[in-house]
Amino acid sequence: MFAYSFKDIHTYGNVEQVQTSHVSLDLSLDFDKKVISGSCELTLKYADPKKGAAHIDLDTRMLTVTKVVEPGTGRTLKFDLGENESLLGRRLRVKLPNPNITKIEIHYHTDPAAGALQWLEPRMTTSKKHPFLLTQGQAILSRTWFPCMDSPGVRVTYDAVIRVPKGITPIMSAAHGKHEPEKGIYRFELKRAIPPYLIALAAGEIEFKAISDRCGVYAEPAVLEKAAWEFADMEKMMKAAEGLYGEYRWERWDTIVLPPSFPFGGMENPMLTFATPTLLAGDRSLVNVMAHELAHSWSGNLVTNATWSDFWLNEGFTVYFERRIVEELYGKETAQMHTLLGQRELHHEIAEMGAKNKEFAKLFQDLSGHDPDDAFSSVPYEKGANFLFVLEKYFGRRAFDAFLIKYFDTHAFQSMTTAKFLAFMKKELFQGNETAWKELKVDEWVYQAGVPDNMVIPKSEKFDKTRAAAKAFSETGNLDFIDKKGWVTEEWLDFLNSLPEKVDHAKLKKLDEHCNFSNTGNSEVLFAWGMVAIRNTYKPALPAVEHFLMRQGRRKFLKPLYQALWDNPKTRDLSKEIYAKARSGYHPIATATIDDIVKI
């Protein structure tokens, strides 16, 4: 029997009878056709090995399957692809003539429009010499680049042979094997079992620079030095993380700084964080995202949400852990400013959800009929982390940390449902104390929409000042309270976010002349300034917004900026104009979101 007592509505897999335990890929990358082709060998294990299973059901989407064979014997196996379902794609059913066959090999190729893949033309890279490919499997996109049981509740080890044209170096979320660069053949292997969404590949003109003997940075050559400087604290972050929650179990931690179209700040692919170049502020002020991705090596990659309804177990724990690493490295005040910025974002986003907040502002979410991405917001991240801050405050850090260590150790390399987590917590942390459970509003935090009134709101003297400065400036145009030399990124963000909805143009002009926001190299500050400029139709700053939208594709920035441009009747045409030019450079994940906002 499998320890599988939950239903994942986002997989076709017949996981109660049979599960994949290893994925072995042999793939060629064709950058001209924008197609990956080759084979995917799956190792199977059965709930009841004597009984086996008559067939295995797998997830595919936009894949063309040409044949399925039994490796070793070469015997062809019958298969059929079901009807295409808009959310899940097509079920691939492979008949198992021998009910406990241990391996099947699927020959297939991908579609140029596969949702997990972004194929970049050379012009979209820094050197403009070579094309680039990057994958993003989370949440249910892995099935668009290899057939699998695409559920976070099914864990696999994996290996891969990747065949590439000259000039291209592939890297994966795995250890390097024996490469043959002269033949364009590269090998990878990950011996630790992970959910398929963490199998990741990037390929292009990529170079490496070590940071320590277990950390390093990959990037396009022109970006490498800057990236390695920005992320110089990676080793220190690892030490801090291990000091908090125990051994790092993935051997190495490298990162790749991808071309700017990567749609997320970071993605926690094991051994190899994928990162956006928008983190390269030049002053290491945005490296909390790296702490976040590292924290996923425990919360998410070691103990994984069993279904996408349990996503907050990945993200809420990771934001909590991220802030603890930030506190260790950069101090409590910085970590608390991050919490305050996150709380503001959380309230704002819940308000923006409108009626949808009834569904999507819960930690545990019923995703029936939804692509998990529909429900993506700061709720699992910030509400999740703030729930843990409530627990930490009540039980004290010592007890709470001991609980978390036990949680990670007990469930290492396993999947976790919300119900199972709550039961574990009731026993281990609350020790059955029902009164405390009620007092802390545990069920309200997890199962109800919105933010319970016992959220812990840190005090910040720095933010008292930025708020006072925003008030003084917006009321009188007085710039004296702005500490241009002394403020750090978090203070600039809080200042900009604290400005009222409407600020007159003369004041905005004065502000930009004084602070030079339109030319800042800090993506977060530019984004916050862009939001102020758009809602006030402050035209002198709109070219900076346009430039920002044209040169990077991080959805966290694109979505609110395009939404604000679209919502403002005076900038709606501009939103269409920019999107028409920029769209082809964005990742399919980003265009799927922005297509619903900007109608071109």
Q: Which residues bind Zn ion (CB under 5 A)?
A: 315, 318
* Strand pairing class (156-163; 185-194): antiparallel
307 binds ligand LTRB2CHR (CB under 6 A): no
Decide if residue 324 touches ligand LTRB2CHR (CB under 6 A).
no
- Residue 484 CB, nearest distance to ligand LTRB2CHR (Å)? 27
CB of 148: closest distance to ligand LTRB2CHR in angstroms? Answer: 16
- Three state DSSP letters for 208-250: EEECCCCEEEEECHHHHHHHHHHCCCHHHHHHHHHHHHCCCCC
> Does residue 372 interact with ligand LTRB2CHR by CB under 6 A?
yes
Q: How many CB atoms neighbour CB 295 within 10 A?
A: 26
Bridge partners, 68 (sequence order): 106
Give the full edge-to-edge strand order of the sheet including 35-46.
64-69, 103-109, 35-46, 18-30, 156-163, 185-194, 175-176
- Residue whose beta carbon is closest to ligand LTRB2CHR: 265
152 is annotated as contributing to ligand binding: no
- Which is closer to ligand LTRB2CHR, CB of 13 or CB of 266? 266
Of 380, 384, 553, 560, the residue at the interface with ligand LTRB2CHR (CB under 6 A) is 380
Q: Which is nearer to ligand LTRB2CHR, 168 or 549 (CB)?
A: 549
Q: Which residue among 205, 220, 293, 382 is the active-site one?
A: 293
CB pairs under 8 A, 24+ apart, for 447-453? 447/362, 447/363, 447/364, 448/362, 449/350, 449/357, 449/358, 449/359, 449/360, 449/361, 449/362, 450/350, 450/357, 450/361, 451/346, 451/347, 451/350, 451/383, 451/386, 452/390
Which of residues 22 and 587 has its CB atom nearest to ligand LTRB2CHR in the complex?
A: 587
Please state whether beta strands 117-120 and 175-176 pair in parallel, antiparallel, or not at all (unpaired): unpaired
To ligand LTRB2CHR, the closest distance from the beta carbon of 555 in angstroms equals 6
Residue 138 interacts, among ligand LTRB2CHR, Zn ion, none and using kind-specific CB cut-offs from 5 to 8 Å, with ligand LTRB2CHR
Q: Give CA–CA dist 146/109, Å, rounded.
A: 8
13 is annotated as contributing to ligand binding: no
Residues 259-288 that bind ligand LTRB2CHR (CB under 6 A): 264-267
- Of the candidate spans 70-78, 368-376, 412-420, 533-541, the one that interacts with ligand LTRB2CHR by CB under 6 A turns out to be 368-376
CB atoms near residue 176 (< 10 Å): 13
Q: For residues 254 and 227, is the Cβ–Cβ distance under 8 A?
A: no
Q: Based on the shown chain and the rule CB under 6 A, indicate whether residue 365 belongs to the binding site for ligand LTRB2CHR.
A: yes
Whether residue 267 is annotated as binding a ligand: the answer is yes
Please identify which residue in 79, 253, 308, 403 interacts with ligand LTRB2CHR, judged by CB under 6 A.
Answer: 308
The annotation status of 315 as a binding-site residue, yes or no, is yes
Among 14, 19, 24, 138, binds ligand LTRB2CHR (CB under 6 A): 138
Query: What gap in Å lies between CA 510 and CA 543, rounded to an integer?
Result: 17
Shortest distance in whole angstroms from residue 449 CB to ligand LTRB2CHR = 13
For the chain, helix, strand, coil in percent to 5 are 40, 20, 35
What is the pattern of x (binds ligand LTRB2CHR, CB under 6 A) and - over residues 537-566?
-----------------x-x----------
Binding string, residues 151-190; x marks residues near ligand LTRB2CHR by CB under 6 A? ----------------------------------------
The answer to whether 188 and 162 have CB atoms below 8 angstroms apart is: yes
Establish whether 293 is a catalytic residue: yes
Q: Does residue 187 contact residue 179 with C-beta atoms inside 8 Å?
A: yes
- What the block records as the tokens of 354 is 């409108």
Q: How many C-alpha atoms does 497 have within 13 Å on its Cβ side?
A: 20
381 belongs to the catalytic site: yes
Minimum distance from CB of 407 to Zn ion (Å)?
Answer: 17
Smallest distance from ligand LTRB2CHR to CB 351, Å: 18
Q: Which stretch binds ligand LTRB2CHR (CB under 6 A): 78-86, 154-162, 327-335, 370-378?
A: 370-378
Q: Which of 36, 92, 96, 139 binds ligand LTRB2CHR (CB under 6 A)?
A: 139
- Residue 369: CB atoms within 10 A of its CB come to 8
Query: Can you point out the beta strands (E) in 320-419?
Result: 414-416
Question: Which residue number, 273 or 474, has a Cβ lying nearer to ligand LTRB2CHR?
Answer: 273
Handedness of CA 281, 253, 340, 550 (dihedral sign): positive
- Residue 565 near residue 544, CB atoms below 8 Å: no
Applying CB under 6 A, the span of 166-174, 237-245, 372-380, 541-549 interacting with ligand LTRB2CHR comes to 372-380
Instruction: Retrieve residue 15's tokens.
Output: 């996981």
Is 135 in contact with 274 (CB distance < 8 Å)? no
3-state secondary structure of 160: strand
Total site size for ligand LTRB2CHR, rule CB under 6 A: 17
Q: Which is nearer to ligand LTRB2CHR, 308 or 407 (CB)?
A: 308
Q: What is the CA radius of gyration of the chain?
A: 24
The yes or no reply on residue 375 touching ligand LTRB2CHR (CB under 6 A) is yes
State the nearest-atom distance from the C-beta of 136 to ligand LTRB2CHR, in Å. 7
- Nearer to ligand LTRB2CHR (CB atom), residue 168 or residue 589: 589
From candidates 311, 400, 408, 445, binder to ligand LTRB2CHR by CB under 6 A:
311
The alpha carbon torsion through 4, 448, 315, 428 (nearest 10 deg) reads -60
CB nearer to ligand LTRB2CHR: give 373 or 483. Answer: 373
Ligand-binding annotation for 6, yes or no, is no
The whole-angstrom separation of Cα 16 and Cα 8 is: 11
**CA pair distance 420, 308, nearest whole angstrom:** 15
Helix (H) or strand (E) holding 594: helix 588-594
Residue 196 annotated as binding? no
- Binding-site residue positions for a peptide: 136-138, 263-268, 554-556
- Binding-site residue positions: 136-138, 263-268, 292, 296, 315, 554-556
Residues contributing to the site for ligand LTRB2CHR (CB under 6 A): 138-139, 264-267, 308, 311, 365, 372-373, 375-376, 380, 554, 556, 589
Active site residues: 293, 381
